Chains A and B, each alone.
Chain A
Amino acid sequence: MPNDIAKGPVAPGCEKVDPILIANNVRRQFGGNVAVDVEHVEIPRGKITALIGPNGAGKTTFFNLLTGFDQPNSGDWSFDGKNLAGVAAYKVSRMGMVRTFQLTKSLNMLTVMENMRLGAQKQPGESLLRALFKPLWIKNEDSITATANELLTRFKLDAKAEDFAASLSGGQRKLLEMARALMTKPKLVMLDEPMAGVNPALTQSLLEHIKGLKAEGMTVLFVEHDMHMVRNISDWVIVMAEGKIVAEGPPNEVMKNPAVIDAYLGAHHDSDLGADKIAKGK
């Protein structure tokens, strides 16, 4: 099947027509355990890419490495042509590559609105000296608040704006975290299991929001377990297992790939483990 994402033949680590993120030989070891060992991967710009794989495949570790929250043993990667290896997490975010977390990190004792405002970039009042002089930052604060209000309305959190984030339900916190990430005006949004622990109704609206990001020209990379969700919204799927990229391609083709089935169900899922074999042992 022809596609407009891959440059050449579709294979693990294949080149893309217009990649926004390119990683080479990224390797992270915890003691003797190699958590991530990615030879080459490219994330297509302006598309929704799903990163899937069984538990312990290294998806979140790979996320942490790419966003500067963890340092790899070796490897380099670039975002929008700028080298990112060894760059601090906050600088990665400032470049336009923002992430969310698997365990939602809402700032509980701040109101929903303050959570949102915190996402804004270049607020002069965030410098210690300028903070003392309200006229220097109040105008900026007003425009930040206006943007935040728009986003909150879009994510249906506007009624909660003045409540503590702690009072939100788990699903609403996921929405808040995504909305807050958007306050940074990112180019690439990286969502770590955005659907985990969210009820089906809210999942549907989360999916719509993710599609909305793409419509606005953002690139989305997200980690997910549920294959049906992935099939619904993603343009491209990358499969990780045991720290490596084992397959990638358009969602429908990837699901048929034997490597993917092996990764999820085990390589020997269809071999016979008959009673006599088990009885003999070994």
Chain B
Amino acid sequence: MDIIFGNAVDWLFQPITAAYALAAIGIALHFGFTGLLNFGQAVFMAVGAYGFSISVKVLHFGFWPSVLVALIASVIMAFILGIPTLRLRSDYLAIVTIAAAEVFRFIVSTTSAQPITGGPQGLNEYSDEFWAMNPIPNGHYKFWVWDYTEDDIFARAVAWGLVIAFAILLAILVRSPWGRVIKGIREDEDAVRSLGKNVYSYKMQSLVVGGLMGTVAGILFVLPTSVQPGNYGTTLTFFIWTILLLGGASTVLGSIVGAMIFWSLLSLTSDLLSAGVDNGVITFISQNQIGDIRFMLVGIGLMLLVIFRPQGIFGNKKELYFNA
């Protein structure tokens, strides 16, 4: 039993959880504060993952130049997505982003791109320089049921440090006059335009900044593991949206807590089911059905959340009341 809860608690602080939280902070800025429907956060994460790993593996850049390449690629991607769509109604951005994410995924996973992107196999072993920066002495660090290596701790510290830093950045931005303009755009962009604000430019700035957060999340996502093209499908984007709505779209902390709840719930349900099956308590499902069933359970949980707390965990109930 300790192991099961141990795992669930461990998932609270996994680097993957941090990556999802950061990507969700990006769409909190896009959707929660600016009203941009970005259904392709996966593409910004993929740009981060591939921009970074290709720079290291193929171009033989160092760690920091590779990060820079990924960030520049992210800004270019935001412009490609934003220039044709941000003058139009918000649904066009949704269509273009979801399509762009899929196009990007298919391009990087083609076998003819194998020398660069690794094709369907993806890329790995690009993190040596990152691990070399680890100041924590080698060894095993044990707490309760966990056993972490120095690399595990380093990856967690860096990932969560960045999540906190970007959360603070977002908090500062949305409380500033700049944040007031983007919130105004979310409510009614013509009204904001009539008050002398360049709405198009603000939407672009928001798209770029939120996209950069997605890109940093994409790098965090792959640093401790490998780049797999299959990870960047629509599922990734929808998980991030789930996390965002779970925590509350127009909040800063919501994304972080949403990611933690999402991942530890997934771990908890799958471990509990698995233990149940092993001990003969649950007889009507088999071990290899658990992976799917846990998503069903999480789905039911989300439905309950939407019914009983539609504003998300951190959302302001009042805001919802007026929308009705």
Interface residues in B61-115 by Cβ distance below 8 A to A read none
**Is A108 a contact of B195 with CB atoms below 8 Å?**
no
Q: How far is the CA of A98 from the CA of B221 in the complex (A)?
A: 48
Query: Which residues of A come within 8 Å of B, CB atoms?
Result: 67, 69, 88-91, 93-94, 98-101, 105-110, 114-115, 117-119, 121, 123, 125-128, 131-132, 134, 137, 141, 164, 166-167, 177, 180-181, 183-184
Query: Is B190 interfacial (CB 8 A cutoff)?
Result: yes
Collect the chain B residues with CB atoms within 8 Å of residue A184's CB: 195-196
B129-137, B173-181, B231-239: which lies at the interface: B173-181
Minimum C-beta distance from B19 to chain A (A): 24
Contact call A93/B209, Cβ cutoff below 8 A: no
Closest to B208 in A: A128
A137 CA to B318 CA, complexed, in Å: 29
Interfacial residues, chain B to chain A (CB-CB below 8 A): 169, 172-173, 176-181, 183-184, 186-188, 190-199, 205, 209, 250, 318-319, 322-323
Q: With a CB–CB cut-off of 8 A, which chain A residues contact B183?
A: 107, 109-110, 114
> Which 10 residue pairs of A and B lie closest in terms of their CB atoms, listed nearest first?
A125-B177, A131-B178, A166-B322, A131-B176, A105-B191, A93-B196, A107-B187, A94-B196, A126-B177, A105-B188
| Contact among B180, B181, B190, B195 with A69 in the assembled complex (CB-CB below 8 Å) | B190
Residues in B with CB closer than 8 Å to A121 are 196
Contacts beyond the supplied A128-B178, A128-B205, A131-B176: 12 A-B pairs with Cβ under 8 Å: A90-B193, A91-B196, A101-B191, A105-B190, A114-B180, A117-B180, A118-B184, A127-B178, A128-B173, A131-B173, A132-B176, A134-B176
- Among A94, A108, A131: residue with most chain B CB under 10 A: A131
Contact with A118, one of B181, B250, B322, B323 (Cβ below 8 angstroms):
B181
Which residues does chain B contribute within 8 Å of A127, judged by CB atoms? 178
A183 to B192, CA, bound (A): 13
Min CB distance B199 to A, Å, is 7
